[in-house]
Chain A
Amino acid sequence: MTAKRARNLAFAALVLIAAMIWIFPLYWALTTSLRTEGRIVSDSAGVLLDEINLAAYREVLSTSKLARWYANSIGTSLTITGIVLLFGMMCAYALSQLRFPGRRLLYLLIVGSFMVPVPALYVAQFVLMSDLGLINRAWGIILPQLIVPVVVIVYKQFFDAIPKEMREAVLLDGGGEFTLLFKLYLPLNWGITAALAIITFISAWNNFFWPFLVATSEDMMTIPVGITQVNDSFGVAYARMMALALLAAAPVILAYLVFQKRVTEAVMISAGVKG
């Protein structure tokens, strides 16, 4: 009894330590953002939160194009999420339920596209976007991010698991493929749809490198790219940068707190697929 209790305590302590290691960068960003720029680089800045100064936030909110970047981030991330889910779902439905020549090959190609690291495509994609005249355009940010094979693969697995009789019942009831997809397969998979939506949105929101390449004008930047704009004539402005980073992360953190269970589920499912 007591041995078990001791083991539990030890385990709890271990988890607590691990959690503290994980949370420290966030904590550090918070303390830094609440200090004055001068204090951060001086020796007196310790680990404890001993100063609450909102100057960095005030500065960032008044001088940067934060509102604009927010709008850009929300717009591109929502568009990406919507299109990726809709097309991924339809593609998975076709692969899972329709019989057409080349179906298996197509599926293998999609699974295979997993193996290609996204950065390997940056140059080709940049040239393509540039040829299409989409540099510094929202669609230039969005289009390359629409390739998310994991969504297709996850949906296909879930669609495969739906009993054939249910499909046949809909056919007899007078439904066609669209009815099947939107009135049967989608409603039966709202849970996984929410999970996929959340991870797609978060990864689009957090994406830095691609928007950084495409959006060179301040007006087109997303939040993570915007953070790099915050420096003054003396160099990097740590407090302001951290304040901006926290503001950028806020929606994601909020989404995580609200949808905690779904996010965990989503990460586990896609990790399972990625193996």
Chain B
Amino acid sequence: MTATGVHLEGVTKSFGAVDVIGGVDMQIGKGEFAVFVGPSGCGKSTLLRMIAGLEDTTSGSIHIGARDVTHEDPAKREVAMVFQSYALYPHLSVFENMAFSLRLARRPRKEVEEKVNRAAGILQLTDHLHKKPAQLSGGQRQRVAIGRAIVRAPEVFLFDEPLSNLDAELRVQMRLELARLHKALGTTMIYVTHDQVEAMTLADKIFVLKSGMVQQAGAPLDLYDDPVNRFVAGFIGSPGMNFLEATVSAHDTDGIRARPKGQPDLDLSVPITSRPAIDSAISLGMRPEHLTLTDGPGLQVTVDVAEELGGISYQYGALQDGSPVIFQQVGARHGLRGTVQNLLPEPGRIFAFDAGGQRVR
């Protein structure tokens, strides 16, 4: 790993008696694009605000580069934040919004103009510098907020769900622009979102959070291919992973065999090295793209909704006992809605989880 960008050690946060962040360790490399992802209320914003210095840290330490900033003022941490609501100064022009921090630092006028104009150029705001925020579209306001951060040349950029107020099309476009911006600036960025697609597409490193704890950290595809627990497995990937309750029916050389609930004549091969007891309960996880149609015995799924996207389609259905199953079809043109299909997971593409949701390997 390269030099440290941001380093958290044993960080906790309590609001009164409520523990919101419970002991977070994380290492973000200098220049990395890190994404905190997790369901609403899991503590992503709180953690980001603690790094920014907008919330006190109850215990643990926060380092930016080599500096311990745990008890430093926000302004001295050399971080810039882009808020979900943009938080532009409504009474100031776009130019003055971006220049605000430089003016406070009493930078010479020439430097202020130079820096603001350069940022405006990068963000295509040059024609709007004299306007007030109220005269801008949502996407432009977003850019001004980013511009305000760029101008300060911070050591770390912090983004709190910056795209969630934009419409779908603009969101995709801004996502690309952010990726380009990160490439151009090479600065450490920490980005908070509840949208796993944003996380997958932007991140060098994803931190999946749940109830104030990091569930797993790693490169997007590592999380996708090798989740440590059922929560991460279900959260990463869209549409989500299918989970079936099953019992261990036999042990064999390549792993175990498991029998999904309500499917007495189906034994699925699960390639794991541990050997859970025969008849013990286990959850099986299968991604939609790893389920394929078969003529022989398989999971009997009644398809009730088909999402045809052209290249691929998602088929939504259920087993006899009602457990939902989603599977993906590539290039298929035969409508499956209303039909009953037999499905088998691709060999080796099946995850196992114990009753507590931990991955069984």
List which B103-119 residues lie within 8 A (CB) of chain A. Answer: 104-105
Q: A165 and B87: CB pair below 8 A?
A: yes
Cα(A188)–Cα(B53), bound, Å? 25
- B73, B85, B87, B92 pick with most chain A CB within 10 angstroms: B87
Total A-B residue contacts, Cβ distance less than 8 Å? 54
Chain B residues contacting A165 (CB-CB under 8 Å) are 83-85, 87
Q: Which of A3-11, A54-62, A169-177 contacts the other chain?
A: A169-177
Cα(A170)–Cα(B53), bound, Å? 13
Q: B54 and A169: CB pair below 8 A?
A: no
Chain B residues contacting A169 (CB-CB under 8 Å) are 81, 83, 87-89, 148
Q: A173 and B75: CB pair below 8 A?
A: yes
Q: B85 and A163: CB pair below 8 A?
A: yes
List which A167-186 residues lie within 8 A (CB) of chain B. Answer: 168-175, 179, 184
A60 to nearest B CB, angstroms?
46
Given A163-B85, A168-B81, A172-B81, are A188 and B74 neighbors across the interface (CB < 8 Å)?
A: no
Cα(A165)–Cα(B145), bound, Å? 12
Chain A residues contacting B105 (CB-CB under 8 Å) are 174
Q: A175 and B80: CB pair below 8 A?
A: no
Cα(A173)–Cα(B78), bound, Å? 9
A162 to nearest B CB, angstroms?
10
Cα(A170)–Cα(B83), bound, Å? 12
A187 interface residue (CB < 8 Å to B): yes
Chain B residues contacting A179 (CB-CB under 8 Å) are 104
A166 interface residue (CB < 8 Å to B): yes
Q: B85 and A172: CB pair below 8 A?
A: no
Q: A171 and B91: CB pair below 8 A?
A: no
A183 to nearest B CB, angstroms?
8
Given A171-B74, A174-B104, are A184 and B81 neighbors across the interface (CB < 8 Å)?
A: no
Q: How large is the interface on A (under 10, 10 to 19, 20 to 34, 35 or more residues)?
A: 10 to 19
A186 to nearest B CB, angstroms?
10
> By DSSP majority rule, is chain A's interface helix, strand, loop, or mixed?
helix
A249 to nearest B CB, angstroms?
35
Given A168-B54, A187-B91, A188-B91, are A173 and B83 neighbors across the interface (CB < 8 Å)?
A: no
- Measured CB to CB, the nearest residue on chain A to B82 is A169
Q: B75 and A174: CB pair below 8 A?
A: yes
Q: B91 and A172: CB pair below 8 A?
A: no
B54 to nearest A CB, angstroms?
5
Chain B residues contacting A175 (CB-CB under 8 Å) are 75, 104
A244 to nearest B CB, angstroms?
43
B141 to nearest A CB, angstroms?
13
- A171, A173, A184, A188 pick with most chain B CB within 10 angstroms: A173
Chain A residues contacting B54 (CB-CB under 8 Å) are 168, 171-172
- Measured CB to CB, the nearest residue on chain A to B151 is A173
0/1 string, A144-167, CB within 8 A of B gives 1: 000000000000000000010110
Cα(A188)–Cα(B133), bound, Å? 13
**Choice from B53, B85, B90, B100 contacting A173 with Cβ under 8 Å:** B100
B132 interface residue (CB < 8 Å to A): no
Cα(A163)–Cα(B90), bound, Å? 11
Cα(A171)–Cα(B152), bound, Å? 13
Cα(A184)–Cα(B85), bound, Å? 17
Chain A residues contacting B79 (CB-CB under 8 Å) are 172
Cα(A184)–Cα(B89), bound, Å? 7
Cα(A175)–Cα(B152), bound, Å? 13
Chain A residues contacting B104 (CB-CB under 8 Å) are 173-175, 179
Chain A residues contacting B233 (CB-CB under 8 Å) are none
A172 to nearest B CB, angstroms?
5
- Measured CB to CB, the nearest residue on chain B to A162 is B90
Chain A residues contacting B87 (CB-CB under 8 Å) are 163, 165-166, 168-169
Chain A residues contacting B52 (CB-CB under 8 Å) are 168, 172
Q: B75 and A171: CB pair below 8 A?
A: yes
Q: B83 and A168: CB pair below 8 A?
A: yes
- Measured CB to CB, the nearest residue on chain A to B97 is A169
B249 interface residue (CB < 8 Å to A): no
Cα(A165)–Cα(B162), bound, Å? 13
Cα(A99)–Cα(B327), bound, Å? 55
- Measured CB to CB, the nearest residue on chain A to B92 is A187
- Measured CB to CB, the nearest residue on chain B to A187 is B91
Q: B83 and A188: CB pair below 8 A?
A: no
Cα(A172)–Cα(B81), bound, Å? 8
Chain A residues contacting B229 (CB-CB under 8 Å) are none
- Measured CB to CB, the nearest residue on chain B to A186 is B91
List which B54-87 residues lie within 8 A (CB) of chain A. Answer: 54, 73-75, 79-81, 83-85, 87
Q: List 18 A-B contacts (CB under 8 A).
A: A163-B87, A165-B84, A165-B87, A168-B83, A169-B81, A169-B83, A169-B148, A170-B100, A171-B73, A172-B53, A172-B54, A172-B79, A173-B100, A173-B101, A184-B89, A187-B92, A188-B90, A190-B91
9 interchain residue pairs of minimum CB distance: A165-B87, A173-B101, A174-B75, A169-B87, A165-B83, A187-B91, A174-B104, A166-B87, A171-B74
Please list the residues of chain A having a beta carbon within 8 angstroms of any beta carbon in chain B.
163, 165-166, 168-175, 179, 184, 187-188, 190
6 more A-B contacts (CB under 8 A) besides A163-B85, A174-B105? A169-B83, A171-B54, A172-B52, A172-B74, A172-B80, A174-B101
Please list the residues of chain B having a beta carbon within 8 angstroms of any beta carbon in chain A.
52-54, 73-75, 79-81, 83-85, 87-92, 100-101, 104-105, 148, 152
